[in-house]
């Protein structure tokens, strides 16, 4: 699916996707607790460092939030994600859900994201959305642009909703971008996308931003592999040398 069609689709369905797409499991249920414990065991057993970058499975995600400080009361308002498998974006394998937090939606964030209080009022609670999200991502490596923001909120929300720690490997897009385009600053998503000619549309919609970040991630995988960095370990070794 071409990018323009993707964003048109996002606009058409974004108002409908606040409802759960799979049957939710109560956070205290034995089934969900068992699922989370097994997921964390599987993550611990997974060894992705030596596998070629273009054979790995990633979930590229984006969060829209009410602010920057989860410990200060800011909340996740929506989650968008798309799968990248073996160097390809799977536009039909996506996740998008809004979260029932209408009370924290400021007028500024509403203008930025296009989210409405009515939309958030009809959305499921955080615990349900996170359960669906974890079922979607499974043991994938996670990727986000400016991933520190996503990490803070996912750590806080995961513990808040399930009492468990956030264990997934979460990479920033700059992890590869700084090697693929060393002369460029790893700034805003718009700037990084512009370097690769990736169309920027529907900014600050969680799914649209996730798709753009995925396009960026795929481009950088191709470039770093052309430069001889075959695995995550190759990249870690290079970046470690750069910081010495």
pLDDT tens-digit map of 37-64 = 898 888 888 889 999 999 999 999 999 9
pLDDT at 36: 85
Q: What is the DSSP letter of 126?
A: H
The answer to whether residue 30 scores a pLDDT higher than 80 is no
- Cα–Cα distance between 124 and 40 in angstroms, integer? 24
Residue 65 DSSP label: E
Q: What is the CATH number of the domain that holds 113?
A: 3.30.420.10
Whose tokens are 């323009």? That residue is 4
Match 């770093």 to its residue by tokens: 224
User: Taking residues 102-129, what's their average pLDDT?
Assistant: 96
Cα–Cα distance between 32 and 36 in angstroms, integer? 6
Taking 90 as the threshold, does the pLDDT of residue 151 lie above it? yes
Distance CA 194, CA 208 (A): 15
What are 36's two structure tokens?
């989370």
Spatial separation of the C-alpha atoms in residues 172 and 192, rounded to whole Å: 13
Token pair for 83: 């799968």
Average pLDDT over residues 123-138: 95
Question: Rounded to the nearest 10 degrees, what angle do helices 206-226 and 3-13 cross at?
Answer: 150
* Among candidate residues 162, 142, 170, the one with its CA nearest the CA of residue 36: 162
- Model pTM? 0.86
Q: Which domain holds residue 211?
A: 3-242
- How many domains, the chain? 1
Q: Is the distance from CB of 98 to CB of 115 less than 8 angstroms?
A: yes
d(CA 26, CA 123) in angstroms, rounded, equals: 16
């Amino acid at each position: 699916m071409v990018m323009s069609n993707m964003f048109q689709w996002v606009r058409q369905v974004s108002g409908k996707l606040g409802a759960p797409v799979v049957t939710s499991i109560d956070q205290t249920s034995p089934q969900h607790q068992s699922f989370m414990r097994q997921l964390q065991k599987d993550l611990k057993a997974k060894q992705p460092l030596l596998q070629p970058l273009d054979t790995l499975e990633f979930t590229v995600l984006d969060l829209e939030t009410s602010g920057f400080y989860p410990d200060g009361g800011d909340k996740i308002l929506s989650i968008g994600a798309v799968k990248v498998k073996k160097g390809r974006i799977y536009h039909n394998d996506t996740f998008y859900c809004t979260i029932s937090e209408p009370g924290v939606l400021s007028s500024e964030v509403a203008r930025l994201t296009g989210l409405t209080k009515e939309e958030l009022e009809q959305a499921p609670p955080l615990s349900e959305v996170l359960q669906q999200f974890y079922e979607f991502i499974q043991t994938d490596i996670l990727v986000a642009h400016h991933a520190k923001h996503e990490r803070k909120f996912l750590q806080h929300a995961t513990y808040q909703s399930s009492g468990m720690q956030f264990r997934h490997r979460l990479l920033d897009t700059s992890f590869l971008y700084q090697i693929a385009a060393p002369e460029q600053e790893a700034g805003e998503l718009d700037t990084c996308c512009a370097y690769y000619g990736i169309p920027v549309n529907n900014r600050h919609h969680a799914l649209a931003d996730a798709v753009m970040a995925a396009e960026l991630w795929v481009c950088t995988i191709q470039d770093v592999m052309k430069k001889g960095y075959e695995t995550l370990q190759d990249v870690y070794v290079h970046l470690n040398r750069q910081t010495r």
